[in-house]
A and B are shown apart, each in its own frame.
Chain A
Amino acid sequence: MKPFEYLRPSDVSEAVAALAANPEAQVLAGGTNLVDLMKYDVTHPGAVIDINRLPLKEIEQLEDGTFRIGALVSNSIAAYHAGIAGELPLLSSAILAGASPQLRNAATCGGNLLQRTRCYYFYDASTPCNKREPGSGCGAVGGVNRIHAILGASQHCIATHPSDMCVALAALDTVVDVAGPTGDRQIPFLDFHRLPGDHPERDNTLQQGEIVTAIRVSGGHFKRHHSYLKLRDRLSYAFALVSVAAALDIGEDGTILDIRVALGGVAHKPWRDPLAETECAGQPANRDTFQALATRLLAGARGQGDNDFKIEMARRAIVRALEQAAAGTPQIQSHKAIF
């Protein structure tokens, strides 16, 4: 850890100005990720801008039913919020599948979006890593990579985005509210995270000086048929090897009106294929349909060696999560038995 400047702005514009003024500056929210990375010498912010005093701690339901969740709302508060738990149970469930109660109490919703990958090499500053140090190479390619990406990876980086919450956000209809030096803007969630390509050092599409102020989520029509299924190396407190956020809207005749599948643990961003989903509309909500969708979603999947199993794992998890959703029996996060 290197010495750094510490600032604690009290409103958004002050925070944005401070951030924009110093390219070395980084935002501190719950600190559950940033502080670790600083201690491990992975990141060395010249200034730490503590945003915990900003008024971003509210959850409100807008007139159209959308929930607007302030960037500083803790993961726990969001998950147990009565409105969210009732209307967007998929989101609650995904949040509760992540980390541990202590971490969820400290972690914020904004921070969750911006948490960095858990790639072993990224975390070990003495190894090459293009994400940590552009141009240094990628240690994980050909190395220990059982937790790495099977979709959308590049030769420069095969890391995954580790969040559970974001997988549900990707499945639902989500927009990220951002404040920046040139004003406020909204980023559709699927455009928020990016694939590594030639610039794995960039996890997302935020511009220099921008901060996340809130996320807007809707998707109430999925509240009956949804499931968040997370497969991992132990039954709790481990990042997803593969996770699936499945949401269905099923018509009276048993055919699909709307279907969403987002995958976690498989790519540099939550993975979705909206076109494939659209083509499921009108089809029966059954195993055949789900299998066909899984095959399409994983069409370009490629293993890296240690993680080859993830392709089959993802295929089966997609089908199971959709079956759980269709049956109206979502995966319960406090009980690790899978139905």
Chain B
Amino acid sequence: MDTSSRVIGFPVSRIDGPLKVTGTAPYAAEHEAPDGLLHGFVTVATIASGRIAEIDLTEAETFPGVVKIYTHQNRPRTAWWDKAWKDEVALPGHPLRPLENDRILFDGQPVALVIGTSFEAARDAASLIRMTYHEDEPHTDLRFEQDQSYVPKEKRSGISPPPKPRGDADRAFSQSPYQISADYFQEGEHHNPMELFASTVIYGEDGSLTIHDKTQGSQNVQSYIASVFELKPDKVRVLNKFVGGAFGSGLRPKHQVFLSVMAALDLKRSVKLELSRREMFYLTWRPATVQTVSMAADDEGHLTAIMHHAVQATSLYEDYQEVVVNWSGLAYRCDNVKLTYELTELNVSTPGDMRAPGAATGVFALESVIDELSYEVGIDPLDMRIRNFVHIDQNMDKQLTSKALHACYREGAERFGWASRSPAPRSMRDGRDLVGWGMATGVWEASLMQSTAKVKLERNGHVTVSAAASDIGTGTYTILAQVGADSFGIGAEQVTVAIGDSSLPKSPVEGGSWTAASSGSAVQVAATTVRQTLLKHARDLPNSPLKDASVEQTAIRDGRLVLAVNDQAGVAIADIMDAAGVDFIEELGEVGPDQAQMKTFISYTHSAAFVEVKVDEELGVIRVTRVVSAIAAGRILNPKTARSQILGGVVMGIGMALHEEGMFDHRTGRIMNHNLAEYHVPAHADIHDIEVIFVEEHDDKASPLGVKGLGEIGIVGVAAAVANAIYHATGTRFRHLPITIDKLYYAQEAAE
């Protein structure tokens, strides 16, 4: 099928951009209700472990403007079985049921909900609730508790447990001339997208609910709410037209949607509930992780053994899991591999997916170790990686659908100027500063999920694309418009995109970087079907010039369906529809993973990150002055939105390397830096030149569109590349993230 319009692969600006920059794109907390809104405010636990002893609501309940206060003592009835509480991406264990009972399992757990006639009334009353607790000793220090670790009994759906060992890693390790074995620790990172978790629940006269929710999956929230409150699914509609960033935090329904719906149903009123910035620190987080990696090589630098063990924090009620160690078995060729993964229960809220969950963590350790080993063997760190290139997935024993990683290495190194790097640590300087150049490989899975989309072509040529998919700031609106436009020979701005609505065609939650590939492909399939129907009608016309044409031989130009090779031969869309007696043609498209292909093939995106740091060693000040990130991610639908994704990933990776950490007072099990003044993410001054390269990568298997997805690969490897650059600059290996300024002092002290 000829799709000659210049939309796919072009840097189309976001079609939702003007709404966003003018502040007219409404977010979850920015909706009103016809009956007026009640407002909620959540009171959270101030202990990390124990029981609620007493709740004194005397002052709070009589506060002007208070409508009702909910605690575990008066919470309305909800579904009984755990199964009803399991959302689409739920974990093994017992999902949190807010206000279920008096048990406190983590700091910041919701313990009361105040509903008031105004936000201020609810908040002020909340501060008058007197909770007393029976406190138990909290356990929050992973490094201290890791000897309590266990292999999760039930595997998390969609997350591969470590593969069986291959070869004999212990023996190969002990017999190799070059060996590195090191421990890595990473503090927890806490999701803080700009938009806070919020829900506006509009209570309909017939008892139906329209919920504007901050989520990455409207249909996931819709089925969760219907199931938990035992409602007819058609009585619940969830909308997430605009999402102010999520990065994985919004994959699962959060307690604000449960609580606001609970109150709305109980009070038969519309309710709005927005969590505070502080509460963001008690929700979904990238878990603290301890890793041990042992790696050995022969005299030529070929890897002979890899052993990677990780222990991650999880909550007392769910076994959160991510793929941390498997990367070590598939990133490089190695025949002796042993990978193990365990969890430790702590008094924390259940961790959750945060941009490239697992890979960001595991690849940090892997790419630090291989870097260290390259120095041991005495070869260039980039060379070391190239030497161990692998073109299959040895974990799964599968072929790869594509892997243009060599191009990432080559083009990235070229742009960065890697060739002029002086190999020895501490050998490059700029005035007083030590200069370090480091690099790392990144890898992330590329998946295609079961997805549907509708495409509608109207008589006047207007195209509407719809799916329940979400745009969490990633550019979904724009790329779906592009794919839709491409099939009809029009511009992206001529396509209406309807997404972010549970009533639209079924889509998975937006996560795992699969939306472009999955929803994009579904749109393409639907559009092709529309074109087929259109052609069928055209063929039925008397003397149709398209009589013998197949859909592949046709094109749409200027509102006419024409022969691709001769656009004089064709018929206007309007005429075709008139003759067929229809005003529009609408078709559903569906895509899903190709099970047969998956038996032999698997898909990954790859990257190479090159980083320059300058370190004022005396003062401990590190600056990341230059980053080149070269990405192989199949077909790039829109280099502008794609580049933004990678830039964001790199910035987050720098934050992971240098800044982000939740600081716990382990005596009380409480997080102390729960605001954005003290929980640091990179500021503008921390970010200098970032260059993004997309290398050519043709892939006809990863997805029908040839797209692999880009949301996550940008962060993977960045923290390691920064740490490796710091090593090259200073000669000190930092294995504990984030590498804050104090660690440089302590390292020097230890060296002395």
> Real complex partners, A and B?
yes
B742 CB contacts on chain A under 8 angstroms: 146, 241, 306, 309, 313
**Is B623 a contact partner of A317 (Cβ separation < 8 A)?**
no
B680 CB contacts on chain A under 8 angstroms: 233-234, 238
**Is B432 a contact partner of A339 (Cβ separation < 8 A)?**
yes
From B123, B433, B619, give the contact of A313 (CB < 8 A): B619
- What are some 11 contacts across the A-B interface (CB < 8 A)? A3-B124, A120-B678, A144-B664, A144-B665, A233-B659, A237-B683, A309-B746, A313-B619, A336-B623, A338-B616, A338-B621
A241 CB contacts on chain B under 8 angstroms: 741-742
Interface string of B709-742 (1 = CB under 8 A from A): 0000000000000000000000000000000111
We find that the number of chain A residues with CB closer than 8 angstroms to chain B is 38
Closest B residue, CB atoms, query A233: B680
Closest B residue, CB atoms, query A312: B745
Query: How many angstroms between the C-alpha atoms of A265 and B431 in the bound complex?
Result: 28
From A121, A237, A316, give the contact of B619 (CB < 8 A): A316
B123 CB contacts on chain A under 8 angstroms: 1
Closest A residue, CB atoms, query B131: A126
The smallest beta-carbon distance between B729 and chain A, in angstroms, is: 14
From B614, B618, B749, give the contact of A337 (CB < 8 A): B614
**Is B685 on the interface with A (CB-CB < 8 A)?**
yes
On whether A143 and B683 interact (CB within 8 A), knowing A2-B124, A233-B740, A313-B620, the answer reads no
A312 CB contacts on chain B under 8 angstroms: 745, 749
The smallest beta-carbon distance between B548 and chain A, in angstroms, is: 67
**Is A143 a contact partner of B658 (Cβ separation < 8 A)?**
no
**Is A233 a contact partner of B741 (Cβ separation < 8 A)?**
yes
Interface string of A101-138 (1 = CB under 8 A from B): 00000000000000000101101101100000000000
Beyond the given pairs A120-B678, A124-B672, 12 more chain A to chain B contacts, judged by CB atoms under 8 angstroms and listed by A's residue number, are: A1-B127, A41-B127, A118-B678, A123-B675, A124-B670, A127-B670, A144-B672, A234-B686, A235-B686, A236-B685, A336-B685, A338-B619
**Is A339 a contact partner of B431 (Cβ separation < 8 A)?**
yes
**Is A118 a contact partner of B677 (Cβ separation < 8 A)?**
yes
**Is B619 a contact partner of A231 (Cβ separation < 8 A)?**
yes
B665 CB contacts on chain A under 8 angstroms: 139, 143-144
**Is A1 a contact partner of B619 (Cβ separation < 8 A)?**
no
**Is A183 on the interface with B (CB-CB < 8 A)?**
no
**Is B696 on the interface with A (CB-CB < 8 A)?**
no
**Is A231 a contact partner of B673 (Cβ separation < 8 A)?**
no
The smallest beta-carbon distance between B633 and chain A, in angstroms, is: 30
**Is A235 a contact partner of B745 (Cβ separation < 8 A)?**
no
B153 CB contacts on chain A under 8 angstroms: none
**Is B684 on the interface with A (CB-CB < 8 A)?**
yes
Query: How many angstroms between the C-alpha atoms of A146 and B621 in the bound complex?
Result: 17
**Is A235 a contact partner of B623 (Cβ separation < 8 A)?**
yes
Closest A residue, CB atoms, query B432: A339
The smallest beta-carbon distance between B240 and chain A, in angstroms, is: 27
Interface SS, A side: loop
Interface string of A303-319 (1 = CB under 8 A from B): 00010010011001100
**Is B459 on the interface with A (CB-CB < 8 A)?**
no
B686 CB contacts on chain A under 8 angstroms: 234-236
Tell me the chain A residues, 157-196 only, with Cβ under 8 Å from chain B: none
**Is B674 a contact partner of A124 (Cβ separation < 8 A)?**
yes
Tell me the chain B residues, 100-129 only, with Cβ under 8 Å from chain A: 120, 123-124, 127
**Is A120 a contact partner of B663 (Cβ separation < 8 A)?**
yes
**Is B667 on the interface with A (CB-CB < 8 A)?**
yes
The listed residue with most B CB atoms (<10 A of its CB), out of A231, A237, A239, A316, is A237
**Is A142 on the interface with B (CB-CB < 8 A)?**
yes
**Is A144 a contact partner of B663 (Cβ separation < 8 A)?**
yes
Query: How many angstroms between the C-alpha atoms of A118 and B658 in the bound complex?
Result: 21
**Is B682 on the interface with A (CB-CB < 8 A)?**
yes
Interface string of B592-623 (1 = CB under 8 A from A): 00000000000000000000001010111101
**Is B46 on the interface with A (CB-CB < 8 A)?**
yes
Interface string of A242-283 (1 = CB under 8 A from B): 000000000000000000000000000000000000000000
B124 CB contacts on chain A under 8 angstroms: 1-3
**Is A237 a contact partner of B741 (Cβ separation < 8 A)?**
no
**Is B623 a contact partner of A320 (Cβ separation < 8 A)?**
no
The smallest beta-carbon distance between A206 and chain B, in angstroms, is: 25
Query: How many angstroms between the C-alpha atoms of A272 and B614 in the bound complex?
Result: 32
Query: How many angstroms between the C-alpha atoms of A232 and B677 in the bound complex?
Result: 12
The smallest beta-carbon distance between A121 and chain B, in angstroms, is: 7
Query: How many angstroms between the C-alpha atoms of A316 and B621 in the bound complex?
Result: 12
A336 CB contacts on chain B under 8 angstroms: 621, 623, 685
Closest B residue, CB atoms, query A239: B677
The smallest beta-carbon distance between A142 and chain B, in angstroms, is: 7
Query: How many angstroms between the C-alpha atoms of A126 and B109 in the bound complex?
Result: 14
**Is B741 a contact partner of A231 (Cβ separation < 8 A)?**
yes
A306 CB contacts on chain B under 8 angstroms: 742
